[in-house]
Amino acid sequence: MVAAFLSNWRFSAGQTVDKWSLLVLILCAILLGPVAALVVTAFGDSGGLWPHLLETVLGRYVLNTLVLMLGVGVLAVGFGVSTAWVVSRYEFSGRHVLEWMLLLPAAIPAYIIAYTYTDFFEYAGPLQAGLRDLFGWTSPRDYWFPEIRSLGGAMLVMASVLYPYIYMVTRIAFKLTSSSLFEIALVHNKSQFWTVGLPLARPAIMAGLALVLMEVVSDFGTVEYFAIETLTLGIFNVWLGMNNIVAAAQISIVGFVFILSLLGLEIYARSRQQYAGSGRSQRPLTPLPIGPIGKFWCYLACLTPLLFGFFIPVGVLLKFVFAAPFIQHLSALSGTILNSVMIAMFAAILVMLVSATIVLTSVYRASEKTRSIALVSSTGYAFPGTMLAIGVLIFASTIDRSISGLTNGNVSGLLVGGFGVLMLAYLVRFQAVGYGAMLSGARRLPANMMNASRVLGQGFSGSLIRVILPLLRGSVLAGGLLVFVDVMKELPMTLLLRPFDFETLASFTYQFAKEEMLETAALPALMIVVVGLVPVLLMNRMLRRIS
């Protein structure tokens, strides 16, 4: 089938298959394998469950999912773009610290933030208790307070930890925009943000937003804890409640279609526009001085997302850490920390290698078809982790069996049960992160950069390595960092696919958090944030050198 597809592809391209494109197609086939496995599962017999679902819950699931996507999308874009704009455009003290601090919420796992937020905002939490003391209320019937375990609460909580996906790429986009363009806007008395910054950063914002929305569709931890009936919650109700994994796979395909249509819209909107600056600013973008009122807005813009995405959850975690004797746990954690760092590092390198290959090939030499395949292959992110892990298991065990058959059983169990399957899973899931970072970077490079290099005698690979990749250092670093932090906190796939007796910080945290033993879970959860801090600081230093 693959051969037929390839020959067909060659035929329509009217030329021999380019080796780079072939490599990209093979990589995409690997990335799409687990998704295909889920699609195959979805073709099974769901036992006539759909009439019941349509009649009772499906409408609610779809509506809740759409509203949640909309709310989180708007909030996250608001947080991400406003912070990226003020830290890259205006001069105010503390700007350099805020620049990297704004990334920190990305390191906080969603299943932890849900717990901490409930603790903070609920009836017995410090906020309501303080209000009761202040106003002399004695029971919940005395006053109205917004319920944190609601659709609105979930929007706030999720946007507060997801906006860094947008912030990160958008900030790079702003920094790489030539300062002369902003000056043109200033001369013409037009808004620098609305006429220059925002339109030129659109590919980056969209890349970040796509990640955020995929994360929203696939999230289980937060929606379960907040009892929001989204499609993903429905998937698990059908799978575990009705023992019907076929119907569960079918619902997850519905979520997948949501994401595909969003991507389609974005491609359509962009199809007639190409963004190209001159690559690097002729002059570095110098932040503008700003008056006291402007500074106030800058601080407000930066501190609001930090408050919700970092200070509140970390504050709650710290409260728990100091409430329990934790020294005994700390020493036990060292091996776990090492495990987490190792898998996150290898996964980040692997994902960035693959996404750089795919993005640069598809941008510079592949056909339109290959580009579309490359885009679709980065949508593993839209599946709930556990479902994707099941797809990965089916796909990997098929490969294992094929290899075992080819080698007469000499090589067996190559992937499943070891680290291979875990790395494959991370690659499939977080390819979207690397892909988004690379693509938004590559889109901003002028097309003639590659052409010039080729004219000057460099081959394609030489041009990539000597010209294009150095220009995209920022994107590679940004993508690698996000993948690192994502893998550090990733839970459902790690939990299900890890080898025997292998604990990561996330899996270790979860077994306590699940029992609502927050005092014990707080320390490993905090370690996820602390360990995530190291690459954030490193990367920030490198980014500053670039800009």
Partner 1 sequence: MGILSKSTRGNNRGNTGAHTGGNNPKSPFAMAKLLGATMLALAGVSGVMAPPVLATDSINIYSHRQQILIQPFLDAFTAKTGIETRIVYASKGLAQRLQAEGAASPADVILTVDIARLSEYADLDLLAPTRSTILEQNIPAHLRATDGRWFGLSERARIVVTSKERVAVGAIAEIEDLAKPEWKGRLCSRPGSHVYNRALLASIIAADGETKATAWAKGVVANMARKPQGNDRAQAKAIFQGLCDVAIMNSYYYGNMLFGDEAEQRDWANAVNLVFTNQDNRGNHVNISGGGIAKHSPRKAQALAFLEFLTTPEAQQLYGEINYEYPVNPAVTVTGPLASWGSFKRDQLPIERLAELAPAAQKIIDRSGW
C-beta closer to partner 1: residue 225 or 256: 225
Q: How far is CA 151 from its chain centroid?
A: 21
User: What is the 8-class DSSP label of residue 377?
Assistant: T
**Site stretch for partner 1 (CB under 8 A), options 158-166, 306-314, 462-470, 532-540:** 462-470
Contacts with partner 1, 124-153, as mask; x by CB under 8 A: x--------------xx------x-xx---
Out of 95, 280, 454, 473, the residue judged to bind partner 1 by CB under 8 A:
454
Residues 342/345/347/348 CA torsion (nearest 10 deg): 170
Selection from 354, 350, 304, 357 nearest residue 486 by Cα: 350
CB of 269 to partner 1, least distance (A): 12
User: What is the 8-class DSSP label of residue 189?
Assistant: T
In angstroms, the CA 59 to CA 48 distance is 17
User: What are the residue ranges of helices labelled H in 43-142?
Assistant: 50-56, 58-89, 95-101, 110-121, 126-135
Selection from 170, 431, 179 nearest residue 286 by Cα: 179
Out of 2, 4, 11, 15, the residue judged to bind partner 1 by CB under 8 A:
15
C-beta closer to partner 1: residue 90 or 137: 137
121 binds partner 1 (CB under 8 A): no
C-beta separation of 372 from 27 below 8 A: no
Out of 93, 273, 282, 331, the residue judged to bind partner 1 by CB under 8 A:
273
Contacts with partner 1, 242-261, as mask; x by CB under 8 A: xxxx----------------
Q: Of 187-206, which residues contact partner 1 (CB under 8 A)?
A: 195-196, 199-200
Q: Of 297-336, which residues contact partner 1 (CB under 8 A)?
A: 323-324
C-beta closer to partner 1: residue 20 or 310: 20
Selection from 88, 286, 106 nearest residue 173 by Cα: 88
CB of 96 to partner 1, least distance (A): 29
Out of 366, 505, 506, 531, the residue judged to bind partner 1 by CB under 8 A:
366
C-beta closer to partner 1: residue 526 or 543: 526
**Site stretch for partner 1 (CB under 8 A), options 87-95, 163-171, 274-282, 301-309:** 274-282
C-beta closer to partner 1: residue 91 or 147: 147
Q: Of 22-51, which residues contact partner 1 (CB under 8 A)?
A: 23
402 binds partner 1 (CB under 8 A): no
**Site stretch for partner 1 (CB under 8 A), options 13-21, 65-73, 79-87, 96-104:** 13-21
For 483-509, give the DSSP string: HHHHHHH--HHHHHHPPTT---HHHHH
Beta-bridged to residue 90, according to DSSP, are 288
CB of 298 to partner 1, least distance (A): 25
CB of 482 to partner 1, least distance (A): 18
CB of 272 to partner 1, least distance (A): 7
Selection from 157, 52, 161 nearest residue 102 by Cα: 161
Contacts with partner 1, 159-188, as mask; x by CB under 8 A: ----------------------x-------
**Site stretch for partner 1 (CB under 8 A), options 385-393, 429-437, 479-487, 539-547:** 385-393
CB of 311 to partner 1, least distance (A): 22
Residues 419/422/427/430 CA torsion (nearest 10 deg): -140
Q: Of 413-432, which residues contact partner 1 (CB under 8 A)?
A: 413, 416-420, 423
Q: Map tokens 């033993």 to a residue.
A: 517
Selection from 154, 148, 145, 119 nearest residue 229 by Cα: 154
In angstroms, the CA 412 to CA 396 distance is 12
User: What is the 8-class DSSP label of residue 413?
Assistant: -
In angstroms, the CA 322 to CA 64 distance is 38
In angstroms, the CA 182 to CA 174 distance is 10
In angstroms, the CA 86 to CA 95 distance is 9
Q: Of 78-117, which residues contact partner 1 (CB under 8 A)?
A: none
Q: Of 477-536, which residues contact partner 1 (CB under 8 A)?
A: 492, 495-503, 507, 511-512, 514-520
Enumerate residues 6+ apart whose C-beta is below 8 A from 14: none
- For the four alpha carbons of 291, 296, 299 and 304, in that order, the dihedral sign comes to negative
Contacts with partner 1, 216-245, as mask; x by CB under 8 A: ---------xxx-----x--xxxxxxxxxx
Out of 6, 29, 57, 290, the residue judged to bind partner 1 by CB under 8 A:
57
Q: How far is CA 386 from CA 38, 242, 245, 399, 432, in A?
A: 11, 17, 12, 20, 17
340 binds partner 1 (CB under 8 A): no
Q: How far is CA 420 from CA 390, 417, 423, in A?
A: 15, 8, 5
Task: Count residues binding partner 1 (CB under 8 A).
Answer: 106
C-beta closer to partner 1: residue 315 or 462: 462
In angstroms, the CA 38 to CA 33 distance is 9
**Site stretch for partner 1 (CB under 8 A), options 16-24, 63-71, 261-269, 306-314:** 16-24
Out of 90, 137, 275, 311, the residue judged to bind partner 1 by CB under 8 A:
275
C-beta separation of 505 from 337 below 8 A: yes
C-beta closer to partner 1: residue 274 or 407: 274
Out of 74, 267, 447, 537, the residue judged to bind partner 1 by CB under 8 A:
447
**Coil vs helix vs strand at 144:** coil
